[in-house]
Amino acid sequence: VSQYIAVDIGGTHLRAAGFHAGDLHPVRIARKPTQAPTIDPNPQPPFERLIDLIASIWPADEPVTVISVAAPGPVNPFTGVLMKATNIPGWVDMPLQQKLEKHFGVPVLLGNDANLAALGEWKFGAGRGTMHMVYLTISTGIGSGVIVDGCMLVGARGLAAEIGHITVVPDGEVCNCGYRGHLEAYASGTAIARWVEMEIANGKPSSLAGGKPISAKAVSNAALAGDPLSIAALERAGKYMGHALADILHIFNPSALVIGGGVSQSGPLLFEPMRKALQERVFNPHYLDDLVLLPAAFGDDAGLIGAFALGAHQFPPAA
């Protein structure tokens, strides 16, 4: 039996796992920090760390079909070039596919981590059985992927499905990407925490007042405990999510919205305002007829399982 090797390159950790076809329990799995410890006098570069990690799980007695990689940034799936990796300085226009193929001598596939997380949810997780699915992960940023007519949308240069960077307020607040007014600048965890800090600075009462830096998790907990400002923050984020998702419904008409990421743990305090804004914004109520909102099945494993899904999809096991 051959193995599929899946790799997730995170800003903080690299992970690699070997899978058998049709089985989500890895044969072997390993992880290590993306960067060498800062005290190391001769820090090993991230690419060498990645090579070592993959080699550490390489099966001794089984062939490898493919290595598939979830990468933290825009990738061109046709050339296998990672355009820019979030949180890995120096990884710009990195020919990752070519370099890994040369080293390991097996085919290598590359995908954007959020797109692959969508693929993983669709093949193995919350979106199984649907043909039209939109996936969002809301944490410090907003990642997304779209399954349209039973295919993962990638676009001409692999840049499709960046729902976090839809403009919701022209010339609005600055987004993590540097441009203004994007959804991520209003509904990500970073944006939620920043808004609460600003309102407190403006004199609004809140159980979170007191000068400590505020996290999205703290806002979520305070909202669940009844803090009006924190509830308003999630309402505001949910409203902008609904406005952006109404546009997404108009374009893709999905039957499932799969939502993951830390901020989605806020539950109804976020999703009820989102649902209401969606209802107000779709121009035909039938967009909502068959639409189900589902929590993502995979948390931190989403990228790894998505990479496995890509490998198994492109290189199906011999029947």
Angle, nearest 10°, between helix axes 189-201 and 216-224?
A: 70
CB 248 to Zn ion: min, Å: 16
CB 207 to Zn ion: min, Å: 30
Residue given tokens 């090797």 in the structure block: 5
Which one, 19 or 186, has the nearer CB to Zn ion? Answer: 186
Which one, 216 or 231, has the nearer CB to Zn ion? Answer: 216
CB 96 to Zn ion: min, Å: 24
CB 184 to Zn ion: min, Å: 5
Q: How far apart are CA 289 and CA 12, in angstroms?
A: 41
CB 121 to Zn ion: min, Å: 23
Q: How far apart are CA 228 and CA 235, in angstroms?
A: 10
Residues 255-274 that bind Zn ion (CB under 5 A): none
CB 174 to Zn ion: min, Å: 9
CB 175 to Zn ion: min, Å: 3
Which one, 11 or 150, has the nearer CB to Zn ion? Answer: 11
In degrees rounded to 5, what are phi and psi of residue 48?
-65, -35
Which one, 16 or 193, has the nearer CB to Zn ion? Answer: 193
State the number of binding residues for Zn ion (CB under 5 A).
Answer: 4
Q: How far is CA 96 from CA 35, 67, 72, 230, in A?
A: 17, 11, 12, 42
CB 168 to Zn ion: min, Å: 10
Which one, 26 or 261, has the nearer CB to Zn ion? Answer: 261
Q: Are 14 and 67 contacting, i.e. CB atoms less than 8 angstroms apart?
A: no
Q: Are 237 and 164 contacting, i.e. CB atoms less than 8 angstroms apart?
A: no
Q: How far apart are CA 276 and CA 285, in angstroms?
A: 12
Which residue, among 157, 46, 53, 52, has the nearest Cα to 91 in the 3D structure?
A: 46
Binding string, residues 120-159; x marks residues near Zn ion by CB under 5 A: ----------------------------------------
Which residue is nearest to Zn ion, using beta carbons? Answer: 175
Residues 156-195 that bind Zn ion (CB under 5 A): 165, 175, 177, 182
Angle, nearest 10°, between helix axes 302-314 and 113-124?
A: 70
Which one, 50 or 192, has the nearer CB to Zn ion? Answer: 192
How far does the chain reach from its first CA to its final CA, in angstroms?
12
Which one, 182 or 243, has the nearer CB to Zn ion? Answer: 182
Q: Are 140 and 189 contacting, i.e. CB atoms less than 8 angstroms apart?
A: yes
Q: Supply angle C-alpha 247, 233, 161, rounded to 5.
A: 30
68 beta partners: 6, 109
Which one, 108 or 175, has the nearer CB to Zn ion? Answer: 175
Site residues for Zn ion per CB under 5 A: 165, 175, 177, 182
